[in-house]
Structure 1
Amino acid sequence: MSNRFRNSPSHDLLHVATLGRTVGLKGDMKLNLSTDFPEQFIPNATFTLDNGKEVTLSSYNPDRELVHLKGIDTPEAAKALTNAKLFTTFEATRERCNLGEGEFFWFDLLGSKVVEGESVLGKVQEIERIGPLDYLLVATDPSLVSKGMAATFLIPYIDRFVLGTDATAKVITVEGGLDLLEAS
């Protein structure tokens, strides 16, 4: 899975990075990634800041985690953008990022039904990364909540629990999910 879904100025945008401190005398800045896809930081890629303004990348050095934005050529200009968040569209993410077999964008899994056997356990409300693992935060189906079960629970997104994912149909088939819910 990939690409963290964060609060954004618009629900149509993904938070992919935060601009950090300035480095050097030409307006370079540290880039703190919030995505699994650094390949989207290519020259001439456009991103939206949290204030709604657009910025265009001039260059990105992944080894040094440095970015340079077009028109930001002094440390003073760069300092004004320190801690600004960079957002991109779902479409741009799909265009610039290549998924491997069995990989999905987090935003494509949000709202998916989580099923075990014939039972609907709930819907994916959010995806959390805890340590090296991704977890589905599931909003429990109301019929199960009415039986006294937790309103939400976590399922590790690993083969032991996740049997299959159909991002198009928005269905994730799990095994052992009910046990996790009952233990929550």
Structure 2
Amino acid sequence: MSERDSGSSGRAKTQSAARASFGAFVRKPVERPAADAQKAPAAQEMRAESAESWPDDAVEVGAIVDAYGLKGWVKVAAHADAGQGGDALLSARRWWLENGRERKSAARLQAKVHGDSIVAHLGGPADRDEALALRGYRVYVCRSDFPALGTDEYYWVDLLGLDVVNEAGVELGKVADLIDNGAQSVLRIEYAATGKDGKPVTGERLIPFVGVYVKTVDLAAKKIVVDWEADY
């Protein structure tokens, strides 16, 4: 079993092997022209967005950090370590941009992996100066635009907030985050506890996201069953 990367922008895959295999995005040196590039110019223009027009399933997957070249391309740092589906930057037809209270969206005309980042040509910016004006914008894509995963693969963003119970039905808490320790992904679980002073505190459990410990992941039921005792 495994998880996959938001997606930073990641995927998780639980597996019985000792090492997990996952990445923020598929590193293929290919350009992916969107169907939007064939549409009328109006469909390619950048447009202002509001809280009402912002998609309910928008997931932050990166941030624009610089311009790329002279023709309006931007350079994006994907949230690879956060596991929020960085590969969706290459496939989503529309990017949603936010900087403070300002929100915009633009058609993704072309995008490709470039070193440790992603570079893209969006509808709107026509030159380097216009691309530079987008530095600092956080990039979102719709969760529905994330690429499909294989069997027993999960996007990190889909695991957050799930209840974790052991095989005896003991509640262990909720998934607050996932950690990449270099060898595998680890579930960081938070639960309500009582401190030595008798006051309520938040406890933490770390459970490797591998098949020997993670038995089932039920996204519909929002529950993960693990082979783990409460006093570990």
State TM-score, norm by structure 2: 0.63
Q: 1:132 to 1:88 in 2, by over 3 A?
A: farther
Paired with 2:167 and 2:195, the residues of 1 have a C-alpha distance of 19
Matched, 1:102 2:152: yes
What do the CA deviations read for 1:153-183 (whole angstroms, capped 9, x no partner)? Answer: 221211232122111111211123535xx4x
Q: Per chain length, whose mean CA-contact separation is higher, i.e. which structure has more relative contact order (CA < 8 Å, sep 6+)?
A: 2
Structure 2 counterparts to residues 147-162 of structure 1, below 5 A: 151-162=203-214
Contact kept in structure 1, 2:73 and 2:120, CA below 8 Å: yes
Unaligned runs of 5+ residues in structure 1 are none
Unaligned runs of 5+ residues in structure 2 are 10-50
Q: CA deviation at 1:100?
A: 0.5
Runs of 4+ in 1 over 6 A off after TM superposition: 147-150
Q: CA RMSD in A?
A: 2.8
Paired with 1:126 and 1:39, the residues of 2 have a C-alpha distance of 20
Q: 1:132 to 1:67 in 2, by over 3 A?
A: farther
Structure 1 residue matching 2:154: 3-state secondary structure:
coil
Structure 1 residue matching 2:215: 3-state secondary structure:
strand
Q: Among 72, 78, 93, which residue is 2:131 paired with?
A: 78
Structure 2 residue matching 1:62: 3-state secondary structure:
strand
Q: Among 25, 40, 44, which residue is 2:70 paired with?
A: 25
Q: Percent identity?
A: 24
Structure 2 residue matching 1:76: 3-state secondary structure:
helix
Matched, 1:16 2:50: no
Structure 2 equivalent of residue 91 of structure 1: 144
Moved more, 33-42 or 118-127: 33-42
Q: 1:87 to 1:126 in 2, by over 3 A?
A: same
Q: CA deviation at 1:22?
A: 1.5
Structure 1 equivalent of residue 161 of structure 2: 111
**Structure with greater helix share of residues:** 1
Contact kept in structure 2, 1:165 and 1:172, CA below 8 Å: yes
What do the CA deviations read for 1:122-166 (whole angstroms, capped 9, x no partner)? Answer: 1112233343532222112x4xx2497961222121123212211
Paired with 2:144 and 2:89, the residues of 1 have a C-alpha distance of 12
The alignment of Structure 1 onto Structure 2 pairs a total of residues equal to 171
